[in-house]
Each structure stands twice: as structure tokens, then as C-alpha cells.
Amino acid sequence: PERKYIFDDLIAEDITIALNSSGGVGKSNLVFLMCACVATGISVEPFKVGMPRKVLLVNVEDGTADLWRRFYALGQVYPQFKEKAHTLRQNLKAYPARGLVRPLMYLDQNEPKLSEDGIWMYRSMMGIRPEFAVFDTKSRLFGLDENNNDHAAQWWGLFERVITELDNGLSTMVAAHTSKQRSSQATQFSNRGAGAFIDNARLNVVLTQMDDKEAELHDVDQTDYFAMSAPKSNYTKVKS
């Protein structure tokens, strides 16, 4: 059967996505834009979406005021979202979970186990039935040894289980930080911690600061832009 996409040619249905960047590049702002696009069905370059879909955003870095401040700012830049405010409220479930949600898994005698918060996440997703879910960020939700490949694979397995059980086209994206040594490199190995975190994601998107050469090529102020690449892209037509 023909593969279906949430974001045309970029993010397919039924996959896990890793979104990596160093702090301050614009990862969270990109997450808010992507969530708004999917929830309203409004396309904003470079993202092309179809019909509105249910979206779940769990943000463990911002409080309630900051979260809605970000969405308000998004509406100022893209007024078309204001015109679909009802659709946005109807389809987007956003949780400002700073200080409220702890790691989804924990170690019990070095064995990864599902935590109470992981059980809450599982039950919430099964109840909400989102078609696009985003968790920002991994560092506050992981709870295991980030350098252990088996732990990374089992952590992703939690999201894969939800995708399989819901069977509604859900794709889940997890925002994470790149290693400081590779913060300017858009490669498959840019992530911080075990390589299995990327190996077990079907799509790896990396954000980097735009360098002088790129800014000159596009004739823009590099402080206003970042570069987005997909060094690993199963099931996508976009080239890195």
C-alpha cells in the first residue's frame, strides 16, 4: 500500500522521530509550529500538511504561561492560525508539564521498568488517540542510562507499543539535545548518548546554527535562521 504522510514527503505515519539540536537553536519553537500545522491543517513552508489531526504536546521545559506565550507569539507571526483558533483548540492537547512529569522509565536493579509517569503517558495517549505526538525534551523523560544502547531501544519501545496498539497513523517525535562536541554537525551521530537512540528512530532531524557561508548563499541574517537536515530518513522522500 502507498505510504501516508503527516508532513508531505517528510514525516510518514506510524514512525518515531528524533529531533536533535543544541540549546537555543530554535527546537522548541519549531515544535510549536509543527504542532499548530498538524492540528489546524495549515501548511507553512517548508511543512505541507493535509487534513487537521489530533495532536498531543508534552512540554516538560515550560510552565503554563510560557507555553501559551509561545503559541500567542506564533499567532502573531502566522495570523492564519488565529483564523483556525477553534480547530487548534479542538485538536491540540498541550501539557505544560514542567516539574509535573518525571522520567517515563526507571532502573530497578539495572533493569528498565515503566514508571508511574510512563503508565500515565501510555494511558493518556490511548485515551486521547493523537495522530501526532511530541515530547520535549528527552533529558527530562528518559530516566535510564543515556549511554546504554539497550536502554535507548527499550525506551523507544514504549512509544512503538502505543503506535502499534492505536493503529491510527500516530507518529511520535522526541526532542533531544545534541552532544556539545557535535553541536554544529548535522550527522546521524549528532545526538547525545547511545547510538541506539538514533538507530531506533525512523527519522532523525538535526537543527544547527546557520553558518556564514549558508547565510551568504541565501542572503539572510544567520541569527534569524537555523539549518534543518535529515541525516537519517527511512520512509521519507526528503534528502539530507
Burial of 94 (0-12, 13-18, 19+ CB in 10 A): buried
C-alpha cell at 31: 515544535
Tell me how far CA of residue 155 lies from CA of 55, 115, 141, 151, 173, in angstroms: 21, 11, 10, 6, 13
Structure confidence by residue, pLDDT tens digits, 74-105? 999 999 999 999 999 999 999 999 999 999 99
Structure confidence by residue, pLDDT tens digits, 125-176? 999 999 999 999 999 999 999 999 999 999 999 999 999 999 999 999 999 9
172 close to 135: Cβ distance less than 8 angstroms: yes
Structure confidence by residue, pLDDT tens digits, 204-225? 999 988 888 888 888 888 888 8
